[in-house]
Amino acid sequence: MPLSLNPQIHRIGLPGIRKFSNLLVNFPNAINLTIGQPDFAPPEAVKRAGIYALENNLTTYSVNAGLIELRKAVSTFLADKYQCQYDANTEILVTNGASQAIDSVLRTILQEGDEVILPAPIYAGYEPVISYCGAKTVYLDTTDTGFQPSATKLKELITPKTKAVIFNFPSNPTGATITPDQMDALAEVLKEEDIYIVSDEIYSENTFSGEHRSFGYYFELKDRLFLIHGLSKSHAMTGFRIGFLLADAPLIQEVVKVHSFNAICASVPSQYAAIEALTNCRDTPAIMNESYIRRRDYVYKRLKAMEIDVQLPTGAFYIFPSIKKFGLTSEEFAVRLLKEAGVGTIPGSVFTPYGEGYLRITYAYSDQELEEGMNRLERFIQTL
C-alpha cells in the first residue's frame, strides 16, 4: 500500500498571497504591491541589540516562554499603551512571529467538529490552521457593515459547536478598524458566551484614526481571551520573527506545551532586539505611520479619481477597492493587471469568498512605486 499523508493537508493550498507574490519572479519590471512588509529598516538601536547578542554569544536556548526581560517589556508596553494587564511570569509567551502564536493557540483549543467564526474578508492565514485541526470555519460577513463585525450578526452565528471567534483589527486586508463603541457592543455579546476569543492585533500600532482599543481592555473577557501581538509591522522586523501571546495563566500554561514541541523558544538574538524595540524605540511606529498616511491618502485619491469604489482605510497599510464593476473575478483582474500592466496585487478572493470582487493593494512601498503603480492601473482599466 502507498504511504498516506494527513488528509487535512490535501485540503490546504499554498498561501494565496505568496502564490501571487511569487508570480512576480516572471515579471521583473512589475510594480510589486503584494506583500504586507514595511519598506523601512528596523531602528538602528534594534539592530545593534541583535548584533550585541550575537557578538556576546547570547545564542543559546531561552526558557520556552521567552526571556523574562522581554516578557517584562511586553507586559509594561501593553499596560502603558492599551491598558492590558498581563503578568510577565505566567501570562506571556514569546513566539516565532504572530503566525506561530496563531498556530499554537488553535492547535491547543480546537477539536474535530468545532466551529470558529471569522469576520470576513480576513487574513488568509487562519482558515487553513482551523481546517487541519479538523474544525470548521463559519464566516461573519462584514461587506455590508463597512468591514466591521456586527455584534448582532456575531450573536446569531454562535451555536453549541462554536469554540472560538477570531478578530484581526486593524484589518488585513481591508484596513478597517473598530471604534470603541463597536468594541463595547462586541464585548457585551462575548461576555455572555462560553467561547474563546482570539484577537490578532499585530497592526495595533498602525492605527491612523483615533486610538486602538485592545480586547485586553475588557478584564471580564480575560479568562477566555488569547491576545496576539508582535513587532513585524510596528518596527519593520518581519525577518526577526518575534510575536507575543498574552492570555490568562491557565491558558498560557497549555499553549506553552505546543510551543515547546514545535519551536522550543523564539530566536534569542531576536528576543534581545525586541527588548530594545519595546523599551527605547516606542516612537518608531508613529514615524512610519506619517509615511503610511501620506501614501494611503495618495492611493485613495487616485482610486477615487478612477471612479473605483473604495473605503478609506483607518489602519494597517492596505486598501481594498471593489473591482466588481469591471465584470472580472478578482483573480482574473489581478492576473491580467500583472500580465498586461505590470502591477502585482492580491485578489480579494484570497481573503475568504467574501473578498471576491475586491483587490488588495499594499501601500507600504515608496511614493515612486505607488505613483507608477497607480498610473499603470489607470491605463489598464481604460482598456476594460
Mean pLDDT of the 344-360 span? 96
What pLDDT is attached to residue 355?
A: 97
24 shares its domain with 131? no
Residues 153 and 167 in one domain: yes
User: Is 70 exceeded by the pLDDT of residue 7?
Assistant: yes
User: Is residue 92 within a helix (H) or strand (E), and if so which, with residue range?
Assistant: strand 92-95
Same domain, 191 and 177: yes
Q: Is residue 51 located within the same domain as residue 34? A: no
- Which one-letter DSSP state was computed for residue 340? I
313 and 325 in contact (C-beta within 8 Å)? no
d(CA 271, CA 71): 10
pLDDT of the residue at 348: 96
**Global confidence as pTM:** 0.95
362: left (phi over 0), alpha (psi -120 to 50) or beta: beta
Residue 1 lies in a domain: no
Q: Is residue 314 part of a domain?
A: yes
Indicate if 256 and 322 belong to the same structural domain: no
- For residue 252, being part of any structural domain is answered with yes
| Domain count across the chain | 2
Among 280, 295, 319, which residue terminates a domain? 280
Whether residue 228 lies inside any domain: the answer is yes
Same domain, 16 and 105: no
Give tens-digit pLDDT for 186-244.
999 999 999 999 999 999 999 999 899 999 999 999 999 999 999 999 999 999 999 99
Same domain, residue pair 123 and 260: yes
Q: Please state, in angstroms and rounded to a whole number, the distance separating the CA atoms of residues 90 and 109.
A: 19
On whether the CB atoms of residues 192 and 221 are closer than 8 A, the answer is no
Closest CA to 214 of 192, 189, 246: 246
Asked if 192 contacts 158 with a C-beta cutoff of 8 angstroms, the reply is no
Tell me whether residue 2 is in a domain.
no
What's residue 1's pLDDT?
60
Domain boundary among the residues 231, 253, 280 is at 280
Contact 36, 364 (CB under 8 A): yes
With a cut of 70, say whether residue 17 has pLDDT above it: no
pLDDT average, residue stretch 98-123: 97
100 falls within a domain: yes
Could you read off the pLDDT of 248-284 as tens digits, one per residue? 999 999 999 999 999 999 999 999 999 999 999 999 9
220 shares its domain with 316: no
**In-domain check, residue 151:** yes
CATH number for the domain harbouring residue 331: 3.90.1150.10
Q: Considering the chain, what is the average pLDDT of its residues?
A: 95
* Mean of pLDDT values over 150-156: 98
**Residue holding cell 483607518?**
314
Are 140 and 258 in a shared domain?
yes
Same domain, 102 and 222: yes
- Of 243, 261, 280, the residue at which a domain comes to its end is 280
183 in Cβ contact with 151 (< 8 Å): no
The tens digit of pLDDT for each residue in 122-141 reads: 999 999 999 989 999 999 99
Query: What pLDDT, in 10s, does the model give residues 296-347?
Result: 999 999 999 999 999 999 999 999 999 999 999 999 999 999 999 999 999 9
Q: Are residues 18 and 131 in the same domain?
A: no
Domain with 158, as residue range(s), is: 44-280
Looking at the structure, do residues 71 and 166 belong to the same domain, yes or no? yes
Q: How far is the CA of 59 from the CAs of 6, 53, 88, in angstroms? A: 35, 7, 22
CATH number of the domain within which 197 lies: 3.40.640.10
Instruction: Establish if 334 belongs to a structural domain.
Output: yes
Q: Output the CA angle 117-15-360, nearest 5 degrees.
A: 80
Cβ proximity of 244 and 204 under 8 Å: no
